[in-house]
Amino acid sequence: MTGGADMDAIINFIAAYIDAAWLDYVLIIGGLGLLFVGGESLIRGAVALALNLRLSRLVIGLTVVGMGTSAPELMVSVQSALKGSPDIAVGNVVGSNIANILLIMGVGALLSPMVATGLSLKRDALIMCAVTAGLLWLGLQGVVTRDHGWIMLGIFAVYLMGVYVWEKVLTGKDTAPAGEPDSERQGSPLVALIWVAVGLLMLVSGADALVRGAENVARGFGISEAVIGLTLVAVGTSLPELTVTIIAAFRRQGEVSLGNLIGSNIFNILGILGVTACIAPLRIAPQMAQIDMPVALGVAALTLLIILFDQKVGRLSGLLFLGLYAAYMAWLFVGPQSLP
């Protein structure tokens, strides 16, 4: 079910039972559902497998949960690049980074103010700003080449090793991520592998369905693929981050939520765009480089300033973030960039 021919067969089967005008919306809704459930399944299985392998909670938090919540973005960007839709691939990452802060962090702050006193958060917020500035520089060049992709992956590997040394060796921390199951409920390795396999299958199938549906809707309404990537696709692939943030808010673990969102933004740029560019070089639309990437950098800088000087993301900041996101969405759909 992961190949293009298999997805074509599924689409033809669905089309036999519903009106053709609704097919693209079924693909979008079904794709979003598969991405959400698949992301949850992958995280659950990967965490259980890591616990069975006696990996530390620190390693689980840095890799499994942080990267697992970004798995939908990875699948969608890769699928989009392979299908010749670089605007969706890049817009997905840029839009997800904006949504992670303005929408998801805003919602989380309204539910429960997020304390940001740890040095680790300040460090990662600074790194998020640096890699977002690097992405803007690449955007102004007009393309992310394979060489750029390998460099980004190398920087990400150095970042992971640096975080491990900082947290494990220098501070001795070994914290658990939000939503991690208790070790006594981790289940057998076989069950964990099944969760992982099912999650990956859902993610690949969901990404394919979402990209196909989104492309067709964009063409049908005369909306650019870049705007679709920045909005519908970006928010849809950010559902796992929203889930983790809501769980953390109800558990009063705001600092964990902040760390997950900032770490996800770093991974989206270095990991997802890095992998995608290694598979297929990505052309950057001038409008995205001149408008949306600077917005992403401004949002990252605003987050850094709030963390450095206020040392918390409170409800007032949450309202500000949500207001800015609403304004950004309105501008996307009425501005000239909405046209193909």
pLDDT tens track for 176-234? 454 544 444 456 788 888 887 888 788 778 877 877 787 777 777 777 778 888 887 88
Provide CB contacts within 8 A for 322, sequence distance 6+.
Answer: 102, 103, 106, 107, 110
- Checking if the pLDDT of 142 tops 90, the result is yes
Calpha distance 83→28 (Å, rounded): 16
What is the number of domains present in the chain?
1
- Checking if the pLDDT of 303 tops 50, the result is yes
Mean pLDDT value of segment 263-269: 91
pLDDT of residue 131: 97
Calpha distance 7→23 (Å, rounded): 13
What pTM was estimated for this model as a whole? 0.77
- Checking if the pLDDT of 13 tops 90, the result is no
> What stretches of the chain show up as alpha helix (H) in DSSP?
4-15, 20-52, 57-59, 66-68, 71-82, 86-99, 106-111, 119-141, 146-164, 189-221, 225-228, 234-237, 239-250, 254-267, 273-279, 286-287, 293-305, 315-334
Query: How many Cβ atoms from other residues are within 10 Å of residue 219's Cβ?
Result: 14
pLDDT of residue 2: 44
pLDDT of residue 112: 85
Among 86, 128, 104, CA closest to 267: 128
Q: What mean pLDDT value characterizes the chain?
A: 80
Centroid of chain to Cα 67: 9
105: domain range?
Answer: 4-338
Q: Are strands 282-283 and 143-144 parallel, antiparallel or unpaired?
A: antiparallel
pLDDT of residue 1: 40
Tens digits of per-residue pLDDT, 40-94?
A: 777 777 777 777 776 655 556 556 666 777 777 888 888 888 888 888 889 889 9
pLDDT of residue 46: 73
Position with higher pLDDT, 338 vs 206: 206
- Checking if the pLDDT of 293 tops 80, the result is yes
Mean pLDDT value of segment 301-322: 91
What percentage of the chain has pLDDT greater than the value 70?
79
Calpha distance 31→38 (Å, rounded): 10
pLDDT of residue 134: 96
- Checking if the pLDDT of 166 tops 50, the result is yes
Position with higher pLDDT, 7 vs 123: 123
Position with higher pLDDT, 33 vs 243: 33
Position with higher pLDDT, 166 vs 102: 102
pLDDT tier at 101, thresholds 50, 70, 90: very high
Among 135, 119, 128, CA closest to 303: 128
CATH code, domain with 215: 1.20.1420.30
pLDDT of residue 9: 58
